[in-house]
Amino acid sequence: MPTWDAKQYLRFNDQRTRPCRELVARIAIDAPKRVIDLGCGPGNSTAVLAERWPDSGLTGLDSSSEMIAAARKTYPHQSWSIGDIAAWVDQNDQTYDIVFSNAALQWVDDHSLLLPKLLTRVAKGGALAIQMPANFDAPAHRIMRELAASPAWRDHFPASGIRERHVHDLASYYDLLAPVAAAVDFWQTEYQHIMADAAGIVEWYKGTGLRPFLDALANDQQRADFTAQYLERIQQAYPVRKDGRVIFPFRRMFLIAYRNRRQS
């Protein structure tokens, strides 16, 4: 797993939290007693859950000790835990009215096994609610891979390549969850983020998708050089608009699977 920087991640807090708010608003559960936020990061998503359901017992879980430390500092009255999502679902037999995950499951392997398991951690009549990025074919991601594979850089990365985050197409998640859920609600949204310049896109990915590449490099100088070359290519791929700003499209997928009240 890549290292995480809570301050870097929260540089774009409004943009990153907007999909979370839209997912939370669409969950058709009125008064959940227990809610868990898997991959809670610095707590911004858990705070959204607390706004909608202030009387619920909320728990945030994340594999990054730095992210959990930031969450505890900002939201000291919530319950926080350090842990891996895949390990949690295998080792934990507790159920929750809402099992929630905002922009985290793309870092976890084997979704065909993971998502049905997560649904078993949902209490009867509850919901599994997930948001994940769905833009891995976008120019910003292709440029990362192409630059790392270029003659100038390929020897600096593991021969096996960089383990990137991943998702499947939206319909495949429906096929996966529909047989085991009472109902499935799913959709995609492509957000159009307005950045001051192309460097803003680089800063965005320094908090997420670029981290596995930067972590693999040997020293700060290599990381600075790789980032500079990445910026040059980003500037070519994302043209400046008439007002001097840059449009940064970002597609995301949303899934809500409900458990039947009588489901075993």
CA distance 259 to 123: 7
Q: Where are the beta strands (DSSP E) in 49-182?
A: 57-62, 79-82, 96-102, 122-133
| pLDDT score, position 147 | 97
DSSP secondary structure letter of residue 179: G
pTM of the prediction?
Answer: 0.89
CB 67 within 8 A of CB 91: no
| pLDDT score, position 92 | 78
Domains for the chain: give ranges and CATH numbers.
6-258 (3.40.50.150)
- Looking at the DSSP assignment, which residues form a beta bridge with residue 122? 96
| pLDDT score, position 6 | 47
- What string of pLDDT tens digits covers the 264 residues of the chain? 555 454 554 456 688 889 999 999 999 999 999 999 999 998 989 999 999 999 999 999 999 998 899 999 988 989 999 999 999 999 878 999 999 999 999 989 999 999 999 999 999 999 999 999 999 899 999 999 999 999 999 999 998 888 777 799 999 999 999 999 999 999 999 999 999 999 999 999 998 889 999 999 999 999 999 999 999 999 999 999 999 999 999 999 999 999 987 655
Q: Where are the beta strands (DSSP E) in the chain?
A: 34-38, 57-62, 79-82, 96-102, 122-133, 183-195, 246-258
